[in-house]
């Protein structure tokens, strides 16, 4: 296991921001590093990173190399676990190969045929360089240094870290497969793949599989939102479940129940989650992630809205949308707005 030390991260921040990484910024980086280390999760597998044919000890080393773009790259697990219990909620793999167009090939652990998908990145925990002058300017009402959001291909993520002077500590790699989206989380300090937080704490039967299309809508929302780390993680788990209690979520994330309760109430106030006081279940409001956004009220003159019923209907729509097929040839319809026929059949029927 190759660990990025605080000295490595300090050198990265200095290479990205120069003199802006002053004594104030160094102390802030040290605090962020210590806080992140105190929340370390168990390790699933050690990771090796290669960019454009060159291997790096860890991501900070890659970011400090001006020639490293990650236009193509590879993530390899030298000793991937073979037990199915270790990979709960994930697809076991031994290598990911990234192409310049943002696609990825996932090589299964069992030696099967590679699985092709689309890979995107979502920044988790990080430190963004802020000098004492930046902090004073923001406190006095001046322009603040804002994080624009880090999400896109691996090459775009690397470029964004450099342009926005971000020292990444953890990142989620979102792999969109034909039927679903898999979320892999990496600890960039220890250079390891992390198990899903639900593994060993929530039975697989409590997971509801969502289509890649719905997952894409959720991930887009999270990328541009200002939710806390715990809020985002709770929302991700709730979207992939039929409903969970605050006790179950506290067990999943290993935190204080009062903190989870407060986070869930914040999600309810944002109309992202509904709460059923009869059962104590929190359910994600799937319509909140659709392009039209959450509805603030029922239509005038219409019946009162039932959050549980609305969520159930949205789940049925999402499931039907993911499995819709052409009635003539039986082929799955492509993602996006649905037509009645697939493009091939529509071309044949159109002239007639």
User: Do both 256 and 168 map to the same domain?
Assistant: no
In angstroms, the CA 112 to CA 107 distance is 7
The helix/strand/coil state of 73 is strand
pLDDT in tens, 239-294: 999 999 999 999 999 878 899 999 999 999 999 999 999 999 999 999 888 655 44
Low-confidence ranges of the chain (pLDDT < 70): 1, 140-151, 290-330, 334-341, 348-352
pLDDT for the residue numbered 331 = 73
User: Do both 216 and 289 map to the same domain?
Assistant: yes
Asked which of 141, 173, 196 is the last residue of a domain, the reply is 196
Residues 6+ apart with CB under 8 A from 206: 241, 242, 244, 248
The secondary structure of 156-211 as a DSSP string is HHHHHHHHTTEEESEEEEEEE-SS-EEEEEEETTTTEEEPPTTTTTS-GGG-----
E strand or H helix that includes residue 246: helix 246-253
User: Do both 60 and 159 map to the same domain?
Assistant: yes
pTM (two decimals): 0.80
User: Do both 215 and 172 map to the same domain?
Assistant: no
DSSP 282: E
In angstroms, the CA 327 to CA 344 distance is 12
The answer to whether 13 and 129 are in contact (CB under 8 A) is yes
pLDDT for the residue numbered 254 = 83
User: Do both 242 and 271 map to the same domain?
Assistant: yes
pLDDT for the residue numbered 182 = 94
pLDDT for the residue numbered 288 = 87
pLDDT in tens, 37-83: 998 889 999 999 999 999 999 999 999 999 999 989 999 999 999 87
pLDDT for the residue numbered 311 = 55
User: Do both 65 and 184 map to the same domain?
Assistant: yes
pLDDT for the residue numbered 301 = 43
Domain range for 347: 202-352
User: Do both 140 and 216 map to the same domain?
Assistant: no
Residue 60 CB neighbours (<10 A): 24
User: Do both 100 and 179 map to the same domain?
Assistant: yes
């Amino acid at each position: 296991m190759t660990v990025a030390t605080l000295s490595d991260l300090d050198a990265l921040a200095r290479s990205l921001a120069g003199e802006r990484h002053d004594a104030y910024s160094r102390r802030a980086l040290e605090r962020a590093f210590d806080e992140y280390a105190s929340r370390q999760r168990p390790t699933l597998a050690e990771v090796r990173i290669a960019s454009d044919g060159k291997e790096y000890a860890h991501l900070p080393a890659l970011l400090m190399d001006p020639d490293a773009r990650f236009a193509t790259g590879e993530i390899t697990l030298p000793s991937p676990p073979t037990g199915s219990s270790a990979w709960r909620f994930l697809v076991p793999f031994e290598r990911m190969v990234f192409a310049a167009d943002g696609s990825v090939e996932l090589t299964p652990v069992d030696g099967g045929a590679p699985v092709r998908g689309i890979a995107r990145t979502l920044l988790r925990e990080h430190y963004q360089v802020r000098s004492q002058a930046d902090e004073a300017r923001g406190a006095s009402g001046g322009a603040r240094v804002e994080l624009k959001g880090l999400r896109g291909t691996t090459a775009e993520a690397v470029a964004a870290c450099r342009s926005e002077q971000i020292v990444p500590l953890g990142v989620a790699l979102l792999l969109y497969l034909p039927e679903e989206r898999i979320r892999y989380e990496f600890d960039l300090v220890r250079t390891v793949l992390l198990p899903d937080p639900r593994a060993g704490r929530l039975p697989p039967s409590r997971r509801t599989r969502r289509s890649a299309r719905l997952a894409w809508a959720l991930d887009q929302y999270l990328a541009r939102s200002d939710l806390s780390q715990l809020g985002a993680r709770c929302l991700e788990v709730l979207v992939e479940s039929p409903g969970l209690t605050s006790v179950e979520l506290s067990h999943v994330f290993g935190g204080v129940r009062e903190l989870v309760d407060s986070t869930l109430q914040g999600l309810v106030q944002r109309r992202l989650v509904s709460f059923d006081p009869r059962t104590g279940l929190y359910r994600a409001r799937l319509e909140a992630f659709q392009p039209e956004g959450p509805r603030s009220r029922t239509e005038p003159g219409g019946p009162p809205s039932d959050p549980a019923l609305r969520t159930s209907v949205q789940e049925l729509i999402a499931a039907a949308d993911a499995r819709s097929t052409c009635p003539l040839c039986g082929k799955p319809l492509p993602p996006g707005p649905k037509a009645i026929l697939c493009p091939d059949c529509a071309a044949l029927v159109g002239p007639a």
